[in-house]
Amino acid sequence: MSKKGTIGILTGGGDVPGLNPAIRAITVRARREGYSVVGIRRGWAGLVDFVPDNSVDNRDNVIPLTHDAVNRAARTGGTFLHTSRTRPSFLPLANVPEHLRDAYTAEINDVTPHILKNLEFLGIDTLIPIGGDDTLSYADRLSKEGVRVVAIPKTMDNDVPGTDYCIGFSTCVTRVIALTHALRTTAGSHERLLVIEVFGRYAGFSAMLPAIAGAADRCLIPEHPFDIEHLAEILIEDRRNHPSNYAVVLASEGARLKNQKEMVFSNTEQDQYGHKKLGGIGDVIGSLLKDVSAKFNNGRRVNVVNQRLSYLVRCGEPDALDSIVPTAFGNLALDLLLGGQTGRLVCLRHGCYDSVPIGVVTSHKKLVDVPKYYNTERLRPSYKPFHGAPLFIMTSDY
């Protein structure tokens, strides 16, 4: 077949199960259609570090993708192209590669002209980035610069605007449910409260869906600050009503107490997108519950089991949905490309595969609609009519 052009694929941000199946789907379909395909390593970092010189070995930055390479990788989790949180429009001087040090000398640099030059040098006609709203916000920037972009959403939090579903979310929910049920044996054996911290910086979908599935009695989400005494009272009631004398609450990592100005961070260092690393709200809740529980338990304090699930829900192989949806997303990206449509984000909307303008990723934050989906009095999902709801109940109203 005659070569139609070159497609570049990259994965940015956190790893999730389902990335390798997406890379495989794009590569196999694209090569069948007559395109050559290259993988850009370490997200946007591969294009930042690339040296546009044929005498330089750039295998650490860009690699050709073949059927054999992607077929083997598709059975595994993570991303074989590797990933990073590099932001080319906001690159600290310490991250500017040696060959660009003369041209970029500020403390913070926008190296987009270098990225555009490298895309042209590599002959990449279309870029297919797979990532969350941070990674895709820079893809939107490149689209506005004239680069042909078709983007694919992925994130454990399911919080990319414009789509009901992001790659990685189903595996995350599946793991949270399984691990929470496993931890019940310890909580029940010791008659304790079980506090489990899960992903969710701004959006509480990864706590809400397991709670809908019965994994937890209560869930705490970033969209609704909670009162610790209110939580303690409800959990003690749940514990009292349970035959094994325990209760479970899932807490999104971005959840906040009332009157708490900021989320709980594990350290103060910020990444290139301005995010501090979250982690620790579960420990805060557990400590406070120990002290407050006596008020609602006849003066006797109830001990707490704390567990942060963290990377346990994003490692390993994808579940069924995160094997199927990435394959569909990859093929949808090629459908758009073959139809001459770029500047698009592939998506699932109202149960159907579709696409929206990529600019939606920077237009607003996708959050839980609290009045519609969350019972603030009972600190759990609302069970309103399900007729017409999407597969994962809570939709992105684009």
* Residues facing 39 on adjacent strands: 9, 63
Residue predicted with more confidence, 258 or 389: 258
Predicted TM-score (pTM) of this structure = 0.94
- Checking if the pLDDT of 307 tops 90, the result is yes
> Given this model, what pLDDT does residue 280 score?
86
- pLDDT class of 393 with cuts at 50, 70, 90: confident
Closest CA to 10 of 89, 78, 83, 110: 83
Give the pLDDT confidence score for residue 388 in this predicted structure: 79
**Closest listed residue to residue 361, CA positions, set 103, 140, 213, 194:** 140
Residue type, 83: T
pLDDT in tens, 68-82: 989 988 888 999 999
157 catalytic, yes or no?
A: yes
For residue 107, what are the CA distances in angstroms to 44, 86, 91, 101? 19, 15, 8, 11
Statement: residue 395 has pLDDT above 80: no
- Average pLDDT for the chain: 93
- Please write the tens of the pLDDT for every residue from 28-47: 999 999 999 999 999 999 99
- CA distance readout (Å), 213 to 161, 207, 210, 275: 24, 10, 5, 30
Task: At 132, give phi and psi (nearest 5°).
Answer: -90, -165
Mean pLDDT of 262-290: 77
Using alpha carbons, select from 359, 331, 342, 326 the residue that is nearest to residue 126. Answer: 342
The residue annotated as part of the active site, out of 133, 140, 157, 164, is 157
What do you get for the CA distance between the two ends of the chain, in Å? 39
In angstroms, the CA 370 to CA 95 distance is 40
Lowest mean pLDDT among 110-119, 247-256, 284-293, 383-392: 383-392
Q: Encoding tokens for residue 261? A: 């100005």
Does residue 182 have a pLDDT over 80?
yes
- pLDDT-based confidence at residue 217 (cuts at 50, 70, 90): very high
Q: Please report which confidence band the pLDDT of residue 274 belongs to, taking 50, 70 and 90 as the band edges.
A: low
Q: Read off the pLDDT of each residue in 56-77 and give the average, rounded to a whole number.
A: 92
pLDDT tens, 318-336? 999 999 999 999 999 999 9
- pLDDT at residue number 1: 42
Residue 224 pLDDT greater than 80, yes or no: yes
Give the residue among 89, 199, 82 at the shortest CA–CA distance from 137. Answer: 89
Identify the band that residue 216 occupies on the pLDDT scale cut at 50, 70 and 90.
very high
DSSP state letter for 217 = S
Least confident of 99-103, 309-313, 388-392: 388-392
Express each pLDDT in 148-180 by its tens digit: 999 999 999 999 999 999 999 999 999 999 999
Domains of the chain: 6-167+318-362 (3.40.50.450), 171-310+370-381 (3.40.50.460)
For residue 397, pLDDT over 70 is answered with: no
Tally: H helices and E strands in the chain: 11, 17
Asked whether the beta carbons of 225 and 370 are under 8 A apart, the reply is no
One-letter amino acid at 29 equals: R
Residue 186, pLDDT above cutoff 60: yes
Kindly indicate the confidence band of residue 2, based on its pLDDT and cuts at 50, 70 and 90.
very low
Candidates 83, 70, 84; CA nearest to 20 is 70
Neighbours of 382 (CB within 10 A): 15
pLDDT at 286 over 50: yes
More confident residue, 375 or 69: 375
